[in-house]
Amino acid sequence: MILQESHKIKTLVLVGGGHAHIHILNKYNKKRYQNIKIILISSDTYQYYSGMASGYLEGIYQQDDFRFNLKAICNERGIVFIEDSVVKIDYENQVLHTKGNQKIEYDFLSLNTGSIVKVKKKELGPNVFSVKPLSNLKKIKNAIESLVKLDKSIVIMGGGAAGIEIALALSMYQQNDSNIHLTLIDRHNTLLNGSPKRVQEIVTSRMKEVGIETYLGGFVTDINENYVYLENGQKIAFDVLVLASGVAQTSLYKDSNFIVDDSSSMLVNDNLQSLSADNVFGAGDCIQIRNNNLVKKNGVYAIRQAPILWKNILKVIKGKSLKRFKAQKTYLQIISLGQKKGILIYGKLVISGYFAWKIKDLIDTSYMKKNKK
Ligand SMILES: Cc1cc2nc3c(=O)[nH]c(=O)nc-3n(C[C@H](O)[C@H](O)[C@H](O)COP(=O)(O)OP(=O)(O)OC[C@H]3O[C@@H](n4cnc5c(N)ncnc54)[C@H](O)[C@@H]3O)c2cc1C
């Protein structure tokens, strides 16, 4: 393939409406980029912003506050929108195959398909919900609100940032209905494994304060419709189970014969370019940068990669040399602790309380406002 500047219209296909692609949708101007036709393929019309997910569960935000209507944005920008899931990428012939049996050809491809929750069993009951895709949050809300029995037991599996935010958001239901019992299970011996001790202590004390029971070091061996079974023989009953048990990848990239890492994420170089094909790029949770352990699978890095991704796609189309993505070690993390409280972590700085939540609220709401324009 010749990556030279040409006046022929090039087709750029974006797969997934993740953070990096939201940036591209907003930067694309049909008049300015007359030689590029963009197609966005996404499995959902809406793209949800995880930063505000727990606030939605708590009732602080409404559904439309934390989601983008991809179809509407594409229509406005002159971008073709296809609601479908890509199931196979034939990068040698530059063709995508979708669940809806479409074959879509491309000149350049960008992948921003995010991640899924690590789940052992595929067939789970109707009262078991994974936090991803984030459209499931409405189902979680509905399931909890529709429980007619008085003593409701909700179990959250996963004591990382996502599980903690969800558990603390759901503690709102404890206040309104004292018969709700919340339990969080994690296989590690501490909450937020790998975080500074002070952060773990603050989060642990907040969980106690709102009355969430925790099972730490609780390795889950099985789940059925009513119980979670732990390795130590204990079983925990639930009416609703929420899975926030870590980040995993679908088999899309592995099955499409891309060079992938151990977790099946597509391996890219520092320019966010696939190691398998020069005209394929990627960003966010679905990629792993070769020899780079600094980049974490979170929205912050997906957002940071976005401008480099767009620049490099434009550069490769023009046959120019690409720009490196330089990962910073320190990044601002704010975890919501429920009821407008949060914990802010930046290097050694740790602040908790309303102020931390307010900063998060300002960052998140301005992100949505900026990208909805
Ligand atoms: C409850 C919760 C709270 C979180 N809070 C934060 C936070 O506060 N800050 C933070 O930095 N991170 C947070 N995270 C992590 C964050 O959500 C992810 O790291 C981030 O969304 C990854 O972004 P992305 O751009 O890679 O993809 P995503 O935002 O996951 O988007 C990928 C999109 O691609 C689409 N897609 C997937 N596969 C296909 C396919 N085959 N074909 C077509 N379309 C496809 C999906 O429908 C999805 O819309 C949170 C996660 C959870 C679960």
Return the domain boundaries, the chain: 10-115+249-318, 117-246, 332-373
pLDDT of residue 5: 47
Residue 113 alpha carbon, nearest atom of ligand 1: 34
Residue 301 alpha carbon, nearest atom of ligand 1: 11
CA distance 328 to 346: 12
C-beta neighbour count of 188 within 10 angstroms: 14
Q: Is the CB of 248 under 6 A from ligand 1?
A: no
Percent of the chain having pLDDT more than 70? 95
Question: CATH fold of 117-246, please?
Answer: FAD/NAD(P)-binding domain (3.50.50)
What rounded mean pLDDT belongs to the chain?
93
What is the residue type of 144? I
Q: Give the distance (Å) from ligand 1 centre to CA of residue 324.
A: 23
Task: Give the list of residues 6+ apart from residue 311 with CB closer than 8 angstroms, or none.
Answer: 323
Q: Is the CB of 114 under 6 A from ligand 1?
A: yes
pLDDT of residue 1: 41
The helix/strand/coil state of 304 is helix
* Same fold flag, 10-115+249-318 and 117-246: yes
Question: CATH fold of 10-115+249-318, please?
Answer: FAD/NAD(P)-binding domain (3.50.50)
> If you take atom 25 of ligand 1, which residue's CA is the nearest one?
18
Where do the DSSP E strands lie in 17-119?
36-42, 46-48, 67-69, 80-83, 86-90, 95-98, 103-105, 108-111, 116-117
Whole-angstrom Cα Rg for the chain: 21
**Per-residue DSSP letters for 127-171?**
TEEES-STTHHHHHHHHHHH--SSSEEEEEE--SHHHHHHHHHHH
Q: Which two tokens stand for residue 342?
A: 């949060």
> If you take atom 50 of ligand 1, which residue's CA is the nearest one?
50
Asked if 158 and 246 touch (Cβ cutoff 8 Å), the reply is yes
Q: Give the distance (Å) from ligand 1 centre to CA of residue 262.
A: 20
CA distance 358 to 208: 23
Q: Is the CB of 43 under 6 A from ligand 1?
A: yes
- The CA-atom distances, in angstroms, between 152 and each of 60, 156, 238, 339, 343 are 23, 13, 8, 21, 28
List pLDDT tens digits, range 277-311. 999 999 999 999 999 888 889 999 999 999 999 99
Residues in the chain where the model's pLDDT stays below 50: 1-5
CA distance 272 to 283: 7
Q: Is the CB of 111 under 6 A from ligand 1?
A: no
Q: Is the CB of 284 under 6 A from ligand 1?
A: yes
> If you take atom 31 of ligand 1, which residue's CA is the nearest one?
18
* Matching residue, tokens 């909450």: 191
pLDDT of residue 148: 62
Residue 20 alpha carbon, nearest atom of ligand 1: 25
For ligand 1, mutation pick of 44, 48, 50 (most atoms within 8 Å of CB) = 50
Asked if 13 and 108 touch (Cβ cutoff 8 Å), the reply is yes
